[in-house]
Amino acid sequence: MKTDAAQSWTSFWDTNHSVYVSPRHLDRHYQQIAADIIRVLPHAEARVLDYGCGEALHASRIAAACGDLLLCDAAPNLRARLTERFAGQHKIHVMSPADVDRLPESSVDLVVANSLVQYLRRDELADLLATWRGALSAGGCVIVADVITPEQTALADASALLRFAAANGFLVDAVSGLTRTLFSDYRKLRARLGLTRYAPEDILSVMKQAGFSAEPLQPNFGYNDARLAVIGIKQP
C-alpha cells in the first residue's frame, strides 16, 4: 500500500506540472536520459526496465538498441499517454508498479531508476530493490541515478540547470522557470514532504544489503554531475 507521501508525489507527477521550463527542456532532458541508458546497456538483446520512467519521450531510441523495453510509472494518466505514444512499437511495454511486482524471476537484464529514490522512504527503496533483484537475471544489474546527497543545495541544482539550458538553447526559459518554481506546487510539496538524501556510502550500503555488489557509476544520468549514480550487480 502506498504511503501518503508516495501518493502525493504520484498525484503531482500525474498533473500538468511545470517542473520542465519549456518543451525544449522536456525534450532535451529525455534525450539525455535515453543516451545515458543506451551507454550502459549490457548487450543488444537486453531486456530493460525503466522504473519511474516519466514521459520517456525518446524511448524509441532505447528500444532500437535493446531487446525489449519495459516502461513503468505509478501515474495512471502518464501511463495512458505512454501507451498511446508507443502504440504499435512491439518492443516497448508500458507497465504499472503492480505489473512489475508480477514479473517472472530472471526476466530482466537491466533496471534503471533515474531521479526516483529522492521521492521514496528508505524502506520503500529497500522493498523495490528486493523486487528488482527477483526479476533480474543472473548477473543482471540495477542502476540508481540522480541521487541527491546531503550536501546538495537548491542553488547547485539551479546552476546545473542553467548550464544545461545554455548548452541546449533554452536559457531564457530556464531563468523565468526558476522564478516560477519559487511559487510552484512542486516547491510546496517538496517543502512539506522533503526529499530523501543519501551520502555515497549510504546508498552503496542499502544496495549491498539488498543483495547487490555496488559501486559508483560515472557520469551521473542527466545534466547534474553533483548528484550520484550507482550500479549494483545481482549477487547469487
Residue 183's pLDDT is 65
pLDDT digits (tens, 9 = 90+) for 180-223: 776 676 777 777 877 899 999 999 999 999 999 999 999 999 99
65: burial class by Cβ within 10 Å (0-12, 13-18, 19+)? middle
Q: Residue 185 maps to which CATH number?
A: 3.40.50.150
pLDDT band at 45 (very low <50, low <70, confident <90, very high): very high
Q: Domain containing 138: what range? A: 4-234
User: Which residue would you say has higher pLDDT here, 179 or 93?
Assistant: 93
Nearest to 130 by CA among 207, 53, 72, 49: 207
Q: Which helix (H) or strand (E) holds 75?
A: none
What rounded mean pLDDT belongs to the chain? Answer: 93
pLDDT digits (tens, 9 = 90+) for 151-181: 998 889 999 999 999 999 999 999 998 877 7
Q: Which helix (H) or strand (E) holds 70?
A: strand 68-72
Q: Please state the domain count of the chain.
A: 1
The pTM of the full predicted model, rounded to 2 decimals, is 0.93
pLDDT band at 25 (very low <50, low <70, confident <90, very high): very high
